[in-house]
Chain A
Amino acid sequence: MQRRHFLRASTATIALPFLESAGFRRFVSAAPVATPPKRMMFLGIGFGVTQETWFPDIADTGPGYQMTEGLQPLERHRERFSIVQNASHKASASPHAGSTFWLTGADRFGSPGSSFHNTISVDQVAAAEMGRETRFSSLQLNGSDKHLASANGGHGQGLSLAWDANGKPVAGTDDPVAVFHRLFSPDTMPLEKRKAMLAREHSVLDAILSDANSLQKRLTQTDVDKLDEYFTGIRDIEVRLGKEESWLERPKPQAPIAEPQNRPEGIDEIRLMYDLMIAALQTDSTRICTYRQPIASLLSSIGETILPHDMSHYAPGPRMAASQHRDRVQSQLLGELFDKMLATKEADGSSLFDHTSLVFGSNLRSIHYLNNCTTLLAGGGAGVKLGEHIALPEDTALCDVWLTLLHGVGVKAERHGDSTGVLKQIQA
């Protein structure tokens, strides 16, 4: 079905049949799950790590590798994660963008004539399938330092780590209080009112569509194609409304954590966001989480006065010391996250950690290098080898790692980005 034709004919009520054809009937009547579901969690750190002190020696591979200074706080979890070296994106060309293409592997010059191009991110590929049975297909969190002009954290363009099926940025939120309420606060509005509200949203889309349709008739083909982005946006909103409607009558789960009272910064923000992600996964509100972690506020919260970009251009001296300090704190926070996930038990007695595939890293390795990206894999969700230092052949596609994780959690994608195939070397 041609999207434009569909939209041209669409009215306020056409959204639901479409959604059913896309497999929505299944989740409406979904029975409670017997075995714990698989989950994915992606933690993006923007500017990479201190290469000299974070990466294990490239020759020292396998399970007994020498733990590095930057990873030292994770020593007690040594059996629970692996460091993977030599994976990168072939088309990488943006040395200040550690997150924009991290999960997508796209070539930013991929559409001729345009200075920017992106494709779907791996979390959204997973969410398209794994998100069907949860209230939220995915949860996007951001660190709160994006508003500081000088606080460029090395993440690059985007509204979160996630990019949708059309390569457009997916919104994220940096407000933990709002996230808590979205996940757990019961709707105080009566059902009838909420239904009326959703119905009105359909009329709003319908009005906008009528305007778009009248505009479209006068345009050149290039512009019609451009306007198609807008139509796609409208269709995506329709899909979301449909999902909201199907969850209208089901109450939200009880919150496993207390309501956050404020918006902490830096190290405390990261702890709180980690807790929120655990709570979201544990209650099966969603199965896919991404978090674009803060850097500027992390640095200031640990007493470093340097800005992220200055730090990233480190050379021996105070800049490098700050970078190493940040590495250790990030490892320490990650260790705490593992602890909590291990302590979060599933119905069958296993832990949340056992069913989650966790990725920590960036498209940047260190300084502004785009090869051998920072990659730490953890958790039992995707069935990857844990407790090892794995050196892949040089310039292995990072998208091969993503593809392997997708297959590991049961999403049988044929390819992702510039992937060439599943990596046996990282499978358990």
Chain B
Amino acid sequence: MNLPSLRRGSLQLTDFPLPTFRLSLPVSYKQTLHSAILAITLVPLAAAPKATLPEQHLDFLDAHCLDCHDSATKEGSVDLETLSFSISDIRSAELWQEVLNVVNSGEMPPEKKPRPGDEEKTEFLADLSATLVTAREILSDTGGVTTMRRLNHREYRHTIRDLLGVSIKAESLPADEREGGFDTSGSSLYMSADQIAEYRKQGADALQLAFDLSRTSLEMRKIRLDQEGSFNTRQTYEVQQQVDIQTRFQRWKRQIDLIAAQPRNHKAVAEIRKTIKRPEKFYVHWQKIQGAPAPTEFGFTDGDDAIYYDSQWKWLLPRILEYQSLPQTKTGVYVSASGHATQQVIFGLPGNWPTGDYTMRIHAGVPEERKLKPSRDHLKSYTVPAASHDRRFLDIDSRTGNYHISTHHVRGTTSATVPIEATVSIRGDEQLHLYHLKERGGLEGRSERIHNESTRLKGSRLQPAIWIDYVEFEGPLLDDHTRGQLAIVKGWLDRLDAQGDEAVRSIIREFCDIALRGQPVDPEFLTKLHLIYRDYLSDDHTPHQALRETLAIVLASPRFLYLSETGQVDQTKPLSPIELANRLSYFLWSAPPDSELLQLARSGELAKPEILQQQTTRLLASPRSRTFITAFLGQWLHLDRLDFFQFDPKKHPDFTYGMKKAARREIYETFAYWMNHEQDGSLTQLLQSDTVVIDALLANLYGIANVAGDEFRPVKLPADSPRGGLLGMAAVAAMGSNGDHTSPVERGVWVMKKLMNDPPPPAPPNVPQLSRLADEPLTTREQIAMHQEQPQCAQCHRRIDPIGFGLENFDASGKWRTHDDRHGVPRDRTLIDPSGQIHGGPAFSDFYQLRSHLATLYPDAFATGFAEHLAEYALGRPIGFTDDDLIAAIIAETKAGGYQIKDFIHAVVMSETFRTKR
């Protein structure tokens, strides 16, 4: 196999070389096969690409299949003799797929017949599955036709937000199918009666929200919250409780002791002492002691209950007392994963604040080291150091919704706090908005480790990690556009109130003007809507309700829901400037064109290449292009896999929800950084780079010092760092795991698909899990070596697995490691062997060499894959062989500048394909 292969798939696409057969076939076969193939392959003489199985496999078929499946015998009505090696229609593709499946599963050839040799079978299966991948691509080639697309979920939400200034979740609309494609693919975005009804309902809800908000005062509000008051009161109460419990327990104990000392109980006491393991358990057996008082008389449910409270006293009270002895408890609160009393603090946003986004500003710092005086526990004075760097992160969770919001780096100290800023969103329908603040991972898997770190400090029972002075909420955060849209909505309502029915038609028209994104509004449609408004009004609806229901119809109409473009039969037609504006802004913003873009479209200026280029640059520079980055990268790189598995918090305590979020964000931030870079913004920075774009949290995971704060920023790496480029990112490592251990197969497949642009054929269905080996004490590498046992596995896994092994130094959470455990053997340390060979390419001894091979041998393949996916996302249709010229042009245009990311985007937008409708 050649390396590197530029186009997807590693088979050759033959334009049409007539198969030349080896003469080993019996004459009769030769003739039949020859004529059969001729008959089929000669028909399409145009130079269309073909999926053709290399003719050398005729031998395989002849030797193992045609005895039973020739035209004469047709065993099981399967006739392979007339089946063309060139797959040109769905029927033959299906039959070949069937052949693949039965050979794969070992069902064919049957046991009594001669079996093919392993090597022969492997090659046959490898070529057949690759040919079928190509065949599927050819058969699904759209010939450059883009199907009109319905707004997908994301575009719908952005469009509503743009139009009405409100955010909706639209959860009741079906999720968009995007397996194996993008959510911009028109032909896959469908519509049904239920959806039409649901769009109407969602539209009405969004309108109601906008009506309400437009008439609410959206003045900035601010509130400061201190928690020490209620926190300390609760602690004081807790101390009283504990003292009370302890007093009652001691009284009970004393009475039992007295009675137990009586001679009549000596025997019973001795019996009890024999059975119990711990002396304090003695009192649980009070019933065996004659005359002992019941624990219920002292306020305990039973003996176990009493013992439990006694142990609480011993554990909890010292911690509470120590907490109270900390400095600055009168002015703030501490949180620490190690202290029972201070694991989390709750702050609440007033329930009556309007729906929207708010800034939550936390004034917090890390406590400085403190000296402890000699005490009963510890005879010398002692210094409790400040919490380690690893512990200087704060989690914000929503208590109301029970989900993680964000994790933040605490940079300040108790004497000089530095505010942390987070954004929280609220919906007006929630009653109270409560937020938990806690030390990172405190209630996940980290608490145990933190507890150990903390208790190593003899003499101190807790080492608080973070001190919170106070929290502020401020908002709502509304940009000018949102305020502007809400003002327009308010204007409509005011006019409706003042003028009644007279204003209705013009309100509907103005609404349609914005909602329909520059498309003409049909007067007949307006008239019908106006009549419906009146009908609602006559049926006990208020004018506002009637308007809401009427406008909601527009939001369920096809011209709102579809991105339609005028076309001509069998012709490629330039897009109108308005259509072009829509295509561009839905490509880069997932939202309608703004007024500047629409104005340029209306004046026709947008048709000029230099104006189009300027606008592309402007749209990319806007923060709104963020949605392009997250949507495109998320789908291209399959980042949804990050959510496939829970991470075992015991095994990967550092991979908290916040870390997963940061890891995902690293991919977006890195891409954005290079996309906006003036000179070095090459796509190949994603293959290998001397720079990472990270925040303090990731720096902590990667072991990179001196990165403080929550913003992502470029950081230069030392020469020996495994980071830099996608392969060194935690998200990529984590996607190639099951939340517990690594999956070299997933990783290898991902690299082949995304970096080498050489996707292996899809895994055959119903392959047994390797879990049959789950009990064996093997390393992951040893387990996966089982793939080489069977030729049907080996044909793909010989290409996939070595790459995955080369990445084994990253554990499931992306941390660098040198050793792995054998499965089921705790604390086993087996040195990882990352060496291997790229199939048909160079060998590598470790990860660094593998990375460098990929970076030097595959930049063109990587760029080609990127261009294909980018074009697919932008055009809203699969990229097929029809688009070879388009892709070649994009590559030619971007290669000269060293594959600058932004050049790709410009190349797509400026291409004729993007600017025309077919």
Report the separation of the CA atoms of residues A306 and B645 in the bound assembly, to the nearest whole angstrom: 10
Does A4 interact with chain B (Cβ within 8 Å)?
Answer: no
Residues in A with CB closer than 8 Å to B218 are none
A314 interface hit (Cβ, 8 Å) = yes
* B90, B194, B532, B739: the one within 8 Å of A171 (CB): B194
Q: Which of A95, A203, A230 neighbours the largest number of chain B CB atoms within 10 Å of its CB?
A: A230
Q: A203-B532, A210-B528 are in contact. Are A226 and B186 (CB under 8 A)?
A: yes
Q: Which listed segment binds B: A38-46, A54-62, A192-200, A256-264?
A: A192-200
Contact partner of A230 (CB less than 8 A), chosen from B191, B197, B531, is B191
Which residues of A155-178 have CB atoms within 8 Å of chain B's CB atoms? Answer: 157-159, 164, 166, 168-171
- Are B878 and A113 in touch, CB under 8 angstroms? yes
Interface size on B, residues (CB 8 A): 70
Q: Does A16 contact B (CB under 8 A)?
A: no
User: A371 is contacted by which of B90, B181, B766 (Cβ under 8 Å)?
Assistant: B766
Indicate with 1 or 0, residue by residue over B111-124, a CB within 8 angstroms of chain A CB atoms: 00000000000000
Across-interface contacts of B90 in A (CB, < 8 A)? 112
Are A115 and B177 in contact, CB atoms less than 8 angstroms apart? yes
Question: Would you give the 0/1 interface string for A210-250, flagging 1 where the beta carbon is closer than 8 Å to chain B?
Answer: 11101100111111001101101110110010000000000
Instruction: Give the complex CA separation of A210 and B531 in angstroms.
Output: 14
Known: A200-B536, A226-B148. A310 touches B645 (CB 8 A): yes
Closest Cβ–Cβ distance, residue A203 to chain B (whole Å) = 6
Output the nearest chain A residue to B177 by Cβ-Cβ distance.
A116
Interchain CB contact under 8 A, B178 and A95: no
Majority secondary structure, B binding face: loop
Q: How far is the CA of A219 from the CA of B918 in the complex (A)?
A: 10
B564 engages A168 (CB within 8 Å): no
Which residues of chain B (197-247) have a CB below 8 Å from chain A? 197-198
* Contact of A424 with B by CB under 8 A: no
The answer to whether A94 and B179 touch across the interface, beta carbons within 8 angstroms, is yes
Pairwise interchain contact A316-B194, C-beta atoms closer than 8 A: no
Taken together as a complex, chains A and B put the C-alpha atoms of A107 and B580 apart, in Å, by 35
Known contacts A204-B532, A369-B766; decide if A109 and B136 are in contact (CB<8 Å). Answer: yes
Interface contact B771-A314, CB-CB below 8 Å = yes
> Given the complex, which residues of A lie within 8 Å of B175, measured CB to CB?
157
Q: Are B193 and A240 in contact (CB under 8 A)?
A: yes
* A309 interface neighbour in B196, B535, B644, Cβ under 8 Å: B644
Q: Is A315 a contact partner of B528 (Cβ separation < 8 A)?
A: no
Residues of B with C-beta under 8 A to A207: 525, 528-529, 532, 553, 557
Residues of B within 8 A of A196 (CB): 535, 539
Q: Quick check: B522 and A115 within 8 Å, CB to CB? A: no
Are B195's CB and A367's CB within 8 A?
no
Question: In the complex, what residues of A have CB within 8 A of residue B535's CB?
Answer: 196, 200, 203
**Distance (Å) between the CB of A246 and the closest chain B CB?**
18
**Which residues of the partner chain B approach A164 to less than 8 Å between Cβ atoms?**
192-193
The segment from B41-49, B362-370, B422-430, B566-574 that touches chain A is B566-574
**A206 adjacent to chain B (CB < 8 Å):** yes
Asked if A114 and B765 sit within 8 Å, CB to CB, the answer is: no
- When distances are taken between beta carbons in the complex, the residues of chain A under 8 Å from B566 are 218-219
> Which residue of the partner chain B has the closest CB to A167?
B190
Closest to B531 in A: A203
Docked pose: A150 CA to B569 CA in angstroms: 45
The reply to whether the CB of B500 lies closer than 8 angstroms to some CB of chain A is: no
Q: Which of B582-621 contact A (CB under 8 A)?
A: none
Instruction: Tell me if B678 counts as interface (CB < 8 A to partner A).
Output: no
The verdict on A370 contacting chain B, using a C-beta distance below 8 Å, is yes
Residue of chain A at shortest CB distance from B139 = A112
A149 within 8 A of B: yes
- Distance in Å from the Cβ of A360 to the closest Cβ of chain B? 22
Q: Is the Cβ of B525 less than 8 Å from the Cβ of A371?
A: no
Closest B residue to A227 by beta carbon equals B558
The docked-state distance in angstroms from the alpha carbon of A180 to that of B191 is: 28
CB–CB A230/B148 < 8 A: no
- Given the contacts A109-B136, A197-B539, A214-B522, A115 and B185 also touching, CB distance less than 8 Å: yes
Q: Which residues of A contact B564 (CB under 8 A)?
A: 215, 218-219, 223
Number of A interface residues at 8 Å Cβ cutoff, please give it.
67
A93: CB under 8 A from chain B? yes
- Asked whether B569 lies within 8 Å of A214 as measured between CB atoms, the reply is no
Contact partners of B187 in chain A: CB under 8 A: 111, 113-114, 226
The interface bits of chain B over 546-563 (1 if a CB of A lies within 8 angstroms of the residue's CB, else 0) are: 000000010011110110
Task: Compute how far the CA of A315 lies from the CA of B171 in the bound complex, rounded to whole angstroms.
Answer: 34
**Interface presence of B917 (CB below 8 A):** yes
Residue of A92, A166, A221, A223 with most partner-chain B CB within 10 A = A223
Is B297 part of the binding interface, using a Cβ–Cβ cutoff of 8 Å?
no
**B525 close to A214 (CB less than 8 A):** yes
- B774, CB-defined interface residue at 8 Å: yes
Is B542 part of the binding interface, using a Cβ–Cβ cutoff of 8 Å? no
- Output the least CB separation between B916 and chain A (Å): 12
Compute how far the CA of A227 lies from the CA of B559 in the bound complex, rounded to whole angstroms: 10
Interface membership of B92, Cβ < 8 A: no
A229 and B195 CA atoms in complex are apart in Å by 11
Determine if B703 is an interface residue (Cβ-Cβ < 8 Å).
no
A211 near B192: Cβ-Cβ < 8 Å: no
Is B83 an interface residue, CB under 8 A from the partner? Answer: no
Interface: A317 (CB within 8 A): yes
Instruction: Evaluate contact between B525 and A211: CB separation under 8 angstroms.
Output: yes
B140 interfacial contact with A, CB 8 Å: yes
Determine if A313 is an interface residue (Cβ-Cβ < 8 Å): yes
Cα A306 to Cα B140 with chains together (Å) = 39
B774 interface neighbour in A150, A212, A237, A317, Cβ under 8 Å: A317
Q: Is the CB of B197 within 8 A of A370?
A: no
Residue of A nearest to B573 (CB): A220
Q: Does A208 contact B (CB under 8 A)?
A: yes
Q: Say how far A169's CB is from chain B's closest CB, in angstroms.
A: 6
Is B192 touching A208 in the complex (CB atoms < 8 A)? Answer: no
- Residues 733-757 (chain B) with a chain A CB within 8 angstroms: 738-739
Given A207-B553, A223-B147, residue A230 in contact with residue B177 (CB < 8 A): no
Residues 327-338 of chain A: 1 if any B CB is under 8 Å from the residue's CB, otherwise 0? 000000000000
Asked whether any CB of chain A lies closer than 8 Å to the CB of B327, the reply is no
Given contacts A149-B643, A227-B148, contact A220 B196 (CB under 8 A): no
Asked if A203 meets B917 with Cβ closer than 8 Å, knowing A169-B192, A230-B191, the reply is no
A residues within 8 A CB of B186? 226
Which of chain B's residues have a CB closer than 8 A to the CB of A309?
644-645
Contact partners of B197 in chain A: CB under 8 A: 171, 237
- The distance from the CB of B784 to the nearest CB of chain A, in whole angstroms, is 15
A392 contacts partner chain B, Cβ-Cβ < 8 Å:
no
Known contacts A210-B522, A218-B564, A222-B147: A236-B193 contact under CB 8 Å: yes
Complex alpha-carbon distance, A137 and B739, angstroms: 44
Q: Is the CB of B190 within 8 A of A115?
A: no
The interface residues of chain A lying within 8 Å CB-to-CB of B769 are 313, 315, 367
**Residues A159 and B765 in contact in the complex (CB < 8 Å), given A204-B532, A220-B568, A222-B145:** no
Name which of B195, B738, B775 has the most chain A CB atoms within 10 A of its CB. Answer: B195
**B414 interface residue, CB < 8 Å from A?**
no
Beyond A114-B185, A218-B567, A230-B558, 20 additional pairs, beta carbon < 8 A? A111-B187, A112-B140, A113-B142, A115-B180, A116-B188, A157-B177, A170-B194, A200-B532, A203-B531, A204-B553, A207-B532, A211-B525, A218-B566, A220-B145, A220-B917, A230-B561, A310-B739, A314-B771, A315-B771, A316-B771
Instruction: Give me 27 A-to-B residue pairs in the complex whose CB atoms sit less than 8 angstroms apart, sorted by A's number.
Output: A93-B762, A94-B179, A113-B141, A114-B140, A114-B188, A115-B179, A149-B643, A150-B643, A164-B192, A196-B535, A200-B536, A204-B532, A204-B553, A207-B532, A215-B562, A218-B564, A218-B566, A218-B567, A220-B145, A220-B917, A223-B148, A226-B562, A227-B562, A230-B191, A236-B193, A313-B738, A316-B775
Enumerate chain A interface residues (CB-CB to B < 8 A): 92-95, 109, 111-116, 147, 149-150, 152, 157-159, 164, 166, 168-171, 193, 196-197, 200, 203-204, 206-208, 210-212, 214-215, 218-223, 226-227, 229-230, 232-234, 236-237, 240, 306-307, 309-310, 313-317, 367, 369-371
5 cross-chain pairs, A with B, having the tightest CB-CB distances, nearest first: A220-B567, A315-B771, A168-B192, A236-B193, A315-B774
